[in-house]
Copies of this chain bind each other. A is one copy, B any other.
Amino acid sequence: MARESGPTRAERQARTRELLVATARRLFLRDGYHATTLDRVAEAAGFSKGAVYSNFATKDELCQTVIDEVRAEQVGAVVEAIGGEGSPADRLAVFDAWAERTIGDPGWTLLEAEFAIHATRRDPALRARVAEGGRHWVRALAGLVEEEARRRGTVLPLPPEELAEALLSLGIGLGLRRAVDPGLSPHALTDVIRLVLQP
């Protein structure tokens, strides 16, 4: 036993992992998957590449960790936004703000898409994981859409899952389009949602 025992070994490793994930998150969101190198992540976090490989098996695993973390926050935010009280118009405005923040964020949109494509091309297991993440989004959205229709007392023009699939796809496509072409109007998503929800 040391006189003044500092943090234990496991605690130090956890701290290292945290710092690596936080740094990787910043760089992956800023520069994208391919342009971000593990050397730079390690250096920016104050470690060597060895620290990265001691905490994550591959670059894919590190990036997946970052994406899971960010996505959990995004899903939570949208559920909270839509689930709130207020008139349908209020809720749509809140959702609009969320969409503007999330879909309008090129870093996030590009990273999700880039990693999904990479996973699809590279490793069936990773692709399956990414696909499951997408289905998770669809289920969450389908629930939200159904609930919203119930609140409004309107009949959905399509099954909720299909509508959710279309909305998610629209969000992905619009996010990509806006990232590539920042001059685009940001209103297409909510306009289409209005169209679908207010027949």
Contacts and interface: CB of A to CB of B under 8 A. Distances in A.
A158 B121 contact: no
Contact of A170 (B134, B173, B180): B173
B165 A188 contact: yes
Interface in A102-127: 106, 110, 113-114, 116-122, 127
Given A32-B121, A165-B188, A166-B188, A116 B176 contact: yes
A50 to B, nearest CB: 25
A188 B118 CA distance: 24
A143 to B, nearest CB: 18
Given A32-B117, A34-B118, A180-B127, A191 B173 contact: no
Interface of A: 31-32, 34-35, 106, 110, 113-114, 116-122, 127, 130-131, 134-135, 157-158, 162, 165-166, 168-174, 176-177, 179-181, 184-185, 187-189, 191-192, 195-196
Identical copies of this chain, number = 2
Contacts of A120: 106, 110, 179-180
A21 to B, nearest CB: 21
Contact of A180 (B130, B165, B173, B180): B130
A46 B189 CA distance: 48
Contact of A35 (B106, B122, B191): B122
